[in-house]
Structure 1
Amino acid sequence: MIHFSFTLPDPDSPWRETWDRAEHANPADISEMDLRYKYFGVRARLTVDDVEVISDRGFVTLVDLALSIAWAGKQIAAGHDSAFNFTEAAEVIRLHADGQRIEMSSSVKPWTVTVARDQLLGEFTKLRQEAHACLITQVPGLAEHPVIRRIPPEQGMPEQ
């Protein structure tokens, strides 16, 4: 069983400021670097069976998370190995393609899990759709931003 989700910071959390600043900025003027690393902190969680692949004890930025899994998903869909990480963490989540199965492992933790390729790609797609919807709901002006437009899977296209 695989589950990938995120939650926004509580209103009293210092991470809420990463959303509030964006709501008061001109979305068209926000650079990709700032979108990926300065705005939209969330608690993300990825579990496979009983293994916590990504812990929700810390924060990651939603745009970086979504774009990272978009790239990793494209590699996996093409039958290649991949990996993703977050700037603020030393850990790399490695994805090894083995036919219709994906072996996931950590560069710093002693776990390895295996998941069906289609199931992983489905969770990646769902998270990207939810991230995109959340971003444009919270900051409607982001809907036309070229970086944000790269987040959701294209309509009618397989996960890439």
Structure 2
Amino acid sequence: MMNLSFSLPDVDSAWRGTWKVAQQKNPSELTEIDLRYKYFSANVEMIVDGVEVISSRSFVTLVDLALSLLDAERCISSGEDTAVGFTERAEVIHLRHSEGNIVVTSSEQSWRVVVDREELRSSISEFLREVHSCLTSEVPGLSSHPTIRQMQQI
């Protein structure tokens, strides 16, 4: 069983400022680099069979992680092994094919979990839809931004 979800920072959190600043900008002028690394910090949680693969206790840049997961899903779909890294830390989550499943390991943790390939793909797809929906609700002009539109291509 797998859960992949995110939550926005509390309204009075300094991390919420990464959303407020973006809301004050013209969405068409936001560069992909800024979207990936400057705006939209969020708590993301990924749990596979009770193992916390990504902890909701720390903040990540949501667009960067979403686009990394999009790339990972494409690799998984084509039968390739892949990895997901983080802007905020050195850890890398490895995703390797094994008998119709995906073995998930960390470069910094000792756990090893296995998730059904289709369940992982489905979880990533749903996560991307939710991220896209949240971003375009918070900043409506982002719906036509090419970087954000990529999340709909899954």
Aligned to 1:128: 128
Name the CA distance, whole Å, in 2 between partners of 1:134 and 1:12: 19
**Alpha-carbon deviation of 1:83?**
0.3
Change (3 A) 1:77 1:99: farther
The structure with the greater share of residues assigned to helix is 2
Asked whether the equivalents of residues 79 and 99 of structure 1 are also in contact (C-alpha less than 8 Å), the reply is no
Asked whether the equivalents of residues 40 and 62 of structure 1 are also in contact (C-alpha less than 8 Å), the reply is yes
Aligned to 2:74: 74
Asked whether the equivalents of residues 23 and 138 of structure 2 are also in contact (C-alpha less than 8 Å), the reply is yes
Q: TM-score normalized by structure 1?
A: 0.94
Aligned to 1:158: none
- Which structure 1 residue ranges, 4+ long, deviate > 4 Å from structure 2? none
Report Cα offsets for 1:29-72 as digits up to 9, x if no partner: 11100000000010000000110000011100111111000000
Asked whether the equivalents of residues 101 and 117 of structure 1 are also in contact (C-alpha less than 8 Å), the reply is yes
AA at the equivalent of 1:59: F
Asked whether the equivalents of residues 125 and 153 of structure 1 are also in contact (C-alpha less than 8 Å), the reply is no
Superposed CA RMSD: 0.7
Q: Confirm or deny that 1:13 pairs with 2:7.
A: no
**Alpha-carbon deviation of 1:99?**
3.5
* 3-state secondary structure, aligned to 1:151: helix
Q: TM-score normalized by structure 2?
A: 0.98
Asked whether the equivalents of residues 61 and 87 of structure 2 are also in contact (C-alpha less than 8 Å), the reply is no
* 3-state secondary structure, aligned to 1:147: helix
AA at the equivalent of 1:10: D
AA at the equivalent of 1:85: G
Q: Confirm or deny that 1:144 pairs with 2:144.
A: yes
Within-5 A mapping of 1:20-59: 20-59=20-59
Report Cα offsets for 1:108-143 as digits up to 9, x if no partner: 000000010000000000000000000000000000
Aligned to 1:113: 113
Change (3 A) 1:79 1:99: farther
AA at the equivalent of 2:95: L
Aligned to 1:101: 101
* 3-state secondary structure, aligned to 2:43: strand
* 3-state secondary structure, aligned to 2:52: strand
* 3-state secondary structure, aligned to 2:103: strand
